[in-house]
Amino acid sequence: MASRHMVFRAFYALGFTPWDGHPQSATLRELVEGNHRLPPGSALDVGCGTGDASIYLAQHGWQVTGVDFTPKALRKARAKARAAQVTVNFVDADVTHLSQAGIGPGFQLIVDNGCFHGMSGSDRELYVQEITAVAASGARLFMVAFRPSGRFGPAGVEQSEIERRFTPAWSLLSATDEPRPPDANRFSARFRARSYVLQRQA
Ligand SMILES: C[S@@+](CC[C@H](N)C(=O)[O-])C[C@H]1O[C@@H](n2cnc3c(N)ncnc32)[C@H](O)[C@@H]1O
């Protein structure tokens, strides 16, 4: 079976990227722009794709590192950041090997729009280790993940698995159903997304 790496390379090569261009979640906007927003610091966008969340964070004063293992996505991300006139450190690396790639530590905010939910069980285990290692004490992890749908597409993840995998290093602060975007395409309309905010324990 093709590795996830090859699958994403093929998707980007074919231009089959139905996740691209979705609006930023209201939960993330609340963390970044809300009345009780986090003070801007250093942020990590994992599986950053073509960089929309990274650019959004940079536009709000965050120092952002965007990580993805698909070179074509990163090329587009760099071009979009240039066009938006913001600086983002886009790095070609695997989220399951962040420390090996020299990324971190000390991130105050980690954003994952649709990366974790597509991973295998063993990669999820490495992901939790790596994300935990690069997070500052008290850091927030914001994640949007599809619930399992049993259909073609990402495997998805239940809230119970997130709680089990991230405890005790992280505690779950909130879990919210994401609204279906009004312009959902045939691919994205099949899935129910949920967003999670977790906090790294001191
Ligand atoms: C569903 S796309 C979402 C992209 C972007 N976050 C967005 O919301 O538009 C998932 C992204 O994660 C990347 N990805 C998946 N597994 C990864 C891994 N282990 N390491 C680095 N990037 C990964 C893929 O290349 C792809 O760009």
The answer to whether the beta carbons of residues 94 and 78 sit under 8 Å apart is no
Cite the DSSP H helix spans in the chain: 4-14, 26-33, 52-59, 71-84, 121-134, 159-166
Q: Which of 137, 77, 144 is nearest to 107 (CA)?
A: 137
Q: What is the pLDDT of residue 47?
A: 98
The pLDDT confidence band at residue 173, using thresholds 50, 70 and 90, is very high
Task: State the average pLDDT over residues 41-46.
Answer: 98
- Spatial distance between the Cα atoms of 54 and 43, rounded to a whole number of angstroms: 8
- Helix, strand and coil content of the chain, in percent to the nearest 5, comes to 35, 25, 40
Q: Choose between 133 and 179: higher pLDDT.
A: 133
- Spatial distance between the Cα atoms of 140 and 71, rounded to a whole number of angstroms: 27
Strand, coil or helix: what is 166? Answer: helix
Ligand 1 neighbour 19 (Cβ under 6 A): yes
Kindly report which listed range (27-41, 78-92, 180-194) carries the lowest average pLDDT score. 180-194
Residue 18 Cα to ligand 1 middle (Å): 12
Q: Which atom of ligand 1 is nearest to the CA of 21?
A: 9
Contacts of 55 (CB under 8 A, 6+ apart): 77, 80, 81, 84, 86, 88
Ligand 1 neighbour 70 (Cβ under 6 A): yes
Residue 185 Cα to ligand 1 middle (Å): 19
Q: Which atom of ligand 1 is nearest to the CA of 111?
A: 6
Q: Which residues pair with 112 in a beta bridge?
A: 46, 143
Share of the chain above pLDDT 70, in %: 94
Task: State the average pLDDT over residues 18-42.
Answer: 96
Ligand 1 neighbour 112 (Cβ under 6 A): no
Helices 159-166/121-134 angle, 10° precision: 50
Could you tell me the domains of the chain? Answer: 1-200 (3.40.50.150)
Q: What pLDDT digit, counting tens, does each position of 108-160 carry?
A: 999 999 999 999 999 999 999 999 999 999 999 999 999 998 767 889 999 99
Ligand 1 neighbour 98 (Cβ under 6 A): no
Q: Which residues pair with 63 in a beta bridge?
A: 42
DSSP character for 21? T
